[in-house]
Structures are given as structure tokens and as C-alpha cells.
């Protein structure tokens, strides 16, 4: 795989352009995906890879092929066992805060060093990249997730939506189960293979899509609840790129993932209990995350922000089918109604 970097800039651009023609993905995104793939493969050969679970939107596209949307970041669930701690079903706020602090320090002090060694072992010259951890506020050392950046030299002009860096976020507050083993390969190799830069499939552990689906629903509910209750202004919440969550939910529903969730009320209860103790977002009533009151519909005052964001995403990030925004919202409403009818066996 690393041999691709040994080609001339012109040769590499040509390969990216050819892959773009076949895939419908813009060349700069294919370039970034190559770096995401390299980093992901290296990460899962580090000494602590047994404590990692690949999660989030990128796992849906690269791991399971459920969404045809370019996903540029790597989200990792880091097991507390990596630094000698145990997972608890109902931890105290103090315990979670302590784990966040230790997880942040472990990411910044240990994981980044192991990743550097692993990248070097692929044949990458570390002098050609910048790798660093996000700065930590001395007064808030319990940062979670903590982010490691791998910045590379792009072959293209700066892109407004795609930075020439791979973000790897490590969080200690995620459930690590359920998961499956998935195959990982780059879009370049998938759409324009060449023996000059032969690439082997890598098998890594990734969060089950059903968990990703429910986590996205919960995340949106939490974000929108504080807006609906006027506890915070929409201007104070990060909405940029937020429409991707709506798109991902609909694509997963199209592939039957929501129907899987409906047949597993025990998993819903388990994840809701986990979120109640491990997330504890200020201003959120976690009783409202019960199926009957779950609401992941965007509030009216942010619909136009999401509409504009979705328009940009369709042009720059989505390479498969996509409906217009109004149709997307209608499908989201239908999905929300379907979840609202779900019946749990107990009250969490």
C-alpha cells in the first residue's frame, strides 16, 4: 500500500482521477480516504489494538458498506481496561470523570507513540507528516474524546470541506459491544487497483450498525432537546455537518437496521441505561429517551441550517443515491414514528 507514496505526484494524481471516474467520489476525497485507511490499518496493529473498537459514520461506510457517503474521521471506542480500569454498568459521576482524565492522558501519552511506531513499520517516513494530540486545557484534563491528528501533504489545493488531516477520536464512554469483524480497504485500491501499490485487506473490530443507529438517535435527541426547551440557543450548538446524521439514519433504515433494533428491546434498554450514567449531558431528561418520547426530528428553527448543510454534503460527500432535503425529513419523521411505537420490557 505504501508504495503509492513512492510514485510521482503526477502519477498519484492520475490514479486518484481514475478512481474518481469509476467511483463518483471526488479525487481529493479518495486521497484522504487513502490516508484514513493507512492510519486505521496502522492503529489496529498497535500493542493496544485489542482495546479498540472502530465506530461512528466511517465504520458504516468503510466497514459495513451501509452508506455511500465519504466519512473522513476515525472514531474509536477505547476500553478502560487499556489503562487498568474496569467498565461499570452504573458508575458514579466521579468515576466517569476519572476515567475520562485517564483515557485522555493515555491517548496523549501512549497511543500516539504506538501509532507513530506502527505507521513507521508500514514504511511511512514520519518526516513527511505531522502527528500531534489536541491541546488539553490544564483546568479540564478529563477531555473526552481526545483527538490525535495526522496531517499529510495533499496533492490538491485546499478544500473547504476536506482538510488534509486525519482526525482520530478516542473516547472511553462508549459501550464496546456489540461489534463485528469487518474488512478494510481504500477507495483507491477498490476502484483503481494496481500491483505497483498492492493493498491487503485488513480485518478490524467495528461497532454493530444497530448500536450506531441508536447512538445517533440519542445524540440528536439530546442536542435538539436543549434547543426545544430553550435552554440553549441554536447559535451556541455546533450544527455544521450535522445533516450527515439524518442521512445516515435514513440509509440504515433503508438497509433494515432499524427493523433489527425493533426486535431487540433489551439492547435499547441497555444502551439507554449506559447513556444515562456515562453521558449525563446537562439539561437532558434521560427519561425522555424512552421509545415513546424519543424525538430526533430537527427543531423548526434549525431546519434551514440543516438544509444548507445537506446541500453542501450532497455535492461534496455523498457519492450514492440521495433524496432532496424535504424527502429526507419526511423519511426521518416516518422513522421516528416507527421507533415511538416500540415497546420495552421495562422502564430504564
Residues 127 and 253 grouped into a single domain:
no
pLDDT score recorded for residue 139: 80
Strand order, beta sheet including 52-55 = 130-133, 146-151, 165-171, 74-78, 52-55, 202-207, 179-184
Domain-located, residue 310: yes
Residues 178 and 235 grouped into a single domain:
no
Residues 44 and 147 grouped into a single domain:
yes
Residues 133 and 122 grouped into a single domain:
yes
Note the pLDDT tens digit of each residue in 67-94: 988 887 999 999 999 999 999 999 999 9
Query: 190 lies in which domain range?
Result: 2-207
pLDDT-based confidence at residue 140 (cuts at 50, 70, 90) = confident
Domain-located, residue 193: yes
Residues 223 and 268 grouped into a single domain:
yes
Domain-located, residue 139: yes
Note the pLDDT tens digit of each residue in 156-192: 999 888 999 999 999 999 999 999 999 999 999 999 9
Cα atoms in the 13 Å half-sphere on the side-chain side of 227: 21
Total domain count, the chain? 2
- The CA–CA distances, whole Å, from 105 to 170, 250, 262 equal 11, 37, 38
- The CA–CA distances, whole Å, from 21 to 14, 16, 67, 85 equal 11, 9, 19, 48
pLDDT score recorded for residue 118: 98
Q: Mean pLDDT, the chain, as a whole number?
A: 93
Domain-located, residue 346: no
Residues 144 and 7 grouped into a single domain:
yes
Residues 142 and 170 grouped into a single domain:
yes
Residues 176 and 299 grouped into a single domain:
no
Note the pLDDT tens digit of each residue in 259-268: 999 999 999 9
Domain boundary (207, 233, 257) is at 207
The stretches of the chain forming alpha helices (DSSP H) are: 9-23, 27-43, 57-58, 93-106, 112-121, 187-191, 209-228, 243-254, 257-262, 265-278, 303-316, 325-340
pTM (predicted TM-score): 0.93
pLDDT score recorded for residue 232: 56
Residues 7 and 153 grouped into a single domain:
yes
Please check the confidence at residue 342 and state whether its pLDDT lies above 80: yes
In the numeric block, which cell numbers belong to residue 169? 477520536
DSSP state of 20: H
Judge contact between 288 and 221, C-beta under 8 A. yes
Domain boundary (188, 207, 226) is at 207
Note the pLDDT tens digit of each residue in 221-236: 998 887 766 655 555 4
pLDDT score recorded for residue 238: 59
Domain-located, residue 51: yes
Amino acid at each position: 500500500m505504501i508504495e503509492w507514496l513512492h510514485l510521482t505526484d503526477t502519477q498519484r494524481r492520475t490514479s486518484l482521477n481514475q478512481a474518481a471516474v469509476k467511483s463518483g467520489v471526488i479525487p481529493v476525497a479518495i486521497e484522504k480516504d487513502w490516508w484514513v485507511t493507512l492510519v486505521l490499518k496502522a492503529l489496529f496493529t498497535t500493542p493496544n489494538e485489542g482495546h479498540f473498537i472502530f465506530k461512528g459514520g466511517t465504520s458504516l461506510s468503510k466497514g459495513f458498506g451501509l452508506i455511500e457517503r465519504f466519512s473522513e474521521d476515525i472514531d474509536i471506542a477505547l476500553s478502560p481496561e487499556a489503562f487498568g480500569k474496569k467498565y461499570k454498568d452504573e458508575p458514579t459521576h466521579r468515576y466517569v470523570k476519572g476515567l475520562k482524565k485517564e483515557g485522555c492522558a493515555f491517548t496523549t501519552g501512549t497511543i500516539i507513540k504506538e501509532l507513530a511506531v506502527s505507521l513507521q513499520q508500514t514504511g511511512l517516513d514520519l518526516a513527511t507528516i505531522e502527528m500531534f494530540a489536541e491541546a488539553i486545557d490544564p483546568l479540564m484534563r478529563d477531555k473526552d474524546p481526545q483527538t490525535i491528528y495526522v496531517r499529510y501533504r495533499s496533492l490538491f489545493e485546499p478544500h473547504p470541506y476536506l482538510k488534509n488531516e486525519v482526525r482520530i477520536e478516542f473516547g472511553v464512554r462508549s459501550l464496546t459491544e456489540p461489534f463485528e469483524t469487518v474488512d478494510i480497504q481504500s477507495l483507491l485500491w477498490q476502484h483503481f487497483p494496481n500491483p505497483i501499490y498492492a493493498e491487503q485487506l485488513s480485518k478490524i473490530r467495528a461497532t454493530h450498525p444497530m448500536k450506531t443507529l441508536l447512538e445517533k438517535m440519542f445524540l440528536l435527541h439530546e442536542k435538539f432537546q436543549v434547543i426545544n426547551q430553550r435552554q440553549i440557543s441554536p447559535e451556541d450548538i455546533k450544527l455544521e455537518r450535522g445533516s450527515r446524521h439524518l442521512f445516515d439514519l435514513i440509509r440504515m433504515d433503508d438497509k433494515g437496521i432499524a427493523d433489527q433494533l425493533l426486535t431487540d428491546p433489551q439492547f435499547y434498554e441497555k444502551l439507554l441505561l449506559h447513556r444515562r450514567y456515562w453521558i449525563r449531558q446537562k439539561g437532558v431528561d434521560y427519561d425522555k429517551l424512552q421509545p415513546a418520547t424519543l424525538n430526533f426530528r430537527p427543531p423548526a428553527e434549525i431546519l434551514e441550517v440543516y438544509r444548507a448543510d445537506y446541500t453542501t454534503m450532497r455535492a461534496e460527500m455523498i457519492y450514492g443515491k440521495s433524496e432532496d432535503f424535504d424527502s429526507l425529513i419526511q423519511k426521518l419523521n416516518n422513522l421516528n414514528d416507527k421507533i415511538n411505537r416500540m415497546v420495552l420490557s421495562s422502564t430504564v
